[in-house]
């Protein structure tokens, strides 16, 4: 795949996207949850979950702190918000990290994909709960995306993700540097076109999207470069559109592997993971480009949300419905 053109790669992403068929039932096109949202950060999990919904996931959940949940519910009635997470200081007398974790883990049977990190913070109880969720998600073969403070878990407890092929890490330049340093990789002295590959290998072949002027995407064996034009405003929260987009594409990957519609079945699980990463990057860059074209210097993360579907249609393309074939 590394030798393919951008058009060819996006053509493969198109093949992975489920058509809209009358026979599908609720949930088959994605049951996604974003775990994060603390009393200080309520926007990030919302942007991630909304991107997931706008890209077509049937059900988008947010699992967060009660204080964050009350706020996020006012942002949109379309998201299902579960105030199950607890910061250390907010644990009630009858609650423990274990009991909180059990409640969150119990939701995994209802989900295809989990995003961990948006608005999570570094609170030890929140971090430990997510570590337990990752452990259980791996047992169930559930795909997950780590971003923001979710990446702190990969930095400090790398064995949580090492060798698990159904996950994507999405570090920005600072987060990438921290992950690399923790793995003994000197970013400054490495070939910048090879360093993502080296870090992916250090993590046992997980897929990493190294966000930057171009996005390097690698699983240690194959590296893709996503270089579509983006916007010039670097507002906080744009990465949350990426994580939500990745989550829905990972749900579509599962639908493809489950063969819920007739297709050629000629793409492997590993190849599909790379396609999800490239597709998510390409869609987010197009969202950023469209939003910046409209808003310019005033662009905010919420402006990307409204462009997710347009970016998908522009970059990947929509499949014809059964009706339109008649």
Please indicate if the annotation marks 13 as binding a ligand: no
220: annotated binding-site residue? no
Q: Is 133 annotated as a binding residue?
A: no
211 is in an annotated binding site: yes
Is 5 within any annotated ligand binding site?
Answer: no
Contacts of range 181-186, beta carbons closer than 8 Å, 24 or more positions apart = 182/155, 182/156, 182/158, 183/158
32 assigned to a ligand binding site: no
174 is in an annotated binding site: yes
CB 291 within 8 A of CB 51: no
Q: Is 279 annotated as a binding residue?
A: no
Short-list 143, 165, 148, 131, CA closest to 31 = 143
Token duo for residue 304: 């990307």
Q: Is 214 annotated as a binding residue?
A: yes
234 is in an annotated binding site: yes
173 is in an annotated binding site: yes
Is residue 30 a known part of a binding site?
Answer: no
230 annotated as belonging to a binding site for a ligand: yes
Q: Is 172 annotated as a binding residue?
A: yes
Find out whether 259 and 198 touch, Cβ atoms under 8 Å. no
What letters, b where the CB count within 10 A reaches 16 and e where it falls short, cover 58-93? bbbbbbbbbbbbebbeebeeebebbbbbbbeebeee
- Does 317 show up as a binding residue in the annotation? no
Instruction: For 153-169, give one letter per residue: b (16+ CB within 10 A) or e.
Output: bbbeebebbeebebbbb
- Known binder of ligand: residue 233? yes
Residue 240 in marked binding region: yes
Q: Which residues, other chains included, contact 322 with Cβ-Cβ below 8 Å and sequence gap of 6+?
A: 19, 21, 22
Q: Mapping DSSP to helix (H, G, I), strand (E, B) and coil, where does residue 3 land?
A: coil
Q: Which residues are annotated as a binding site for ATP?
A: 211-215, 230-239
Q: Which residues are annotated as a binding site for (6S)-NADPHX?
A: 119, 172-178, 240
Q: Which residues are annotated as a binding site?
A: 119, 172-178, 211-215, 230-240
């Amino acid at each position: 795949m590394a030798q393919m053109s951008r058009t060819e790669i996006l053509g493969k992403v198109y093949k992975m996207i489920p058509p809209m068929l009358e026979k599908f039932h609720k949930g088959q096109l994605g049951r996604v949850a974003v775990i994060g949202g603390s009393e200080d950060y309520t926007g990030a999990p919302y942007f991630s979950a909304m991107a997931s919904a706008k890209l077509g996931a049937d059900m988008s959940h947010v699992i967060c702190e009660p204080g964050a949940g009350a706020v996020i519910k006012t942002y949109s009635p379309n998201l299902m918000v579960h105030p199950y997470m607890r910061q250390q200081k907010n644990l009630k007398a009858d609650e423990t990290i274990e009991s909180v974790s059990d409640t969150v883990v119990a939701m995994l049977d209802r989900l295809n994909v989990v995003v961990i990190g948006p608005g999570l913070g570094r609170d030890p109880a929140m971090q430990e709960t997510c570590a337990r969720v990752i452990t259980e998600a791996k047992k169930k073969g559930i795909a997950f995306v780590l971003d923001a403070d979710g990446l702190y878990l990969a930095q400090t407890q790398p064995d949580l993700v090492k060798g698990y092929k159904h996950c994507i890490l999405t570090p920005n330049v600072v987060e990438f540097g921290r992950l690399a340093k923790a793995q003994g990789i000197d970013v400054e002295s490495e070939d910048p076109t090879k360093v993502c590959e080296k870090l992916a290998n250090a993590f046992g072949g997980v897929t990493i999207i190294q966000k930057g002027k171009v996005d390097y995407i690698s699983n240690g064996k194959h590296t893709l470069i996503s270089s579509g034009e983006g916007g010039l405003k670097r507002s906080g929260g744009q990465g949350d559109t990426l994580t939500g987009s990745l989550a829905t594409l990972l749900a579509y990957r599962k639908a493809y592997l489950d063969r819920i519609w007739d297709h050629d079945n000629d793409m492997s699980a590993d190849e599909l993971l790379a396609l999800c990463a490239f597709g998510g990057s390409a869609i987010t860059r197009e969202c950023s480009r469209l939003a910046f074209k409209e808003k310019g210097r005033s662009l905010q993360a919420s402006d990307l949300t409204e462009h997710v579907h347009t970016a998908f249609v522009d970059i990947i393309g929509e499949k014809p419905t059964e009706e339109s074939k008649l």
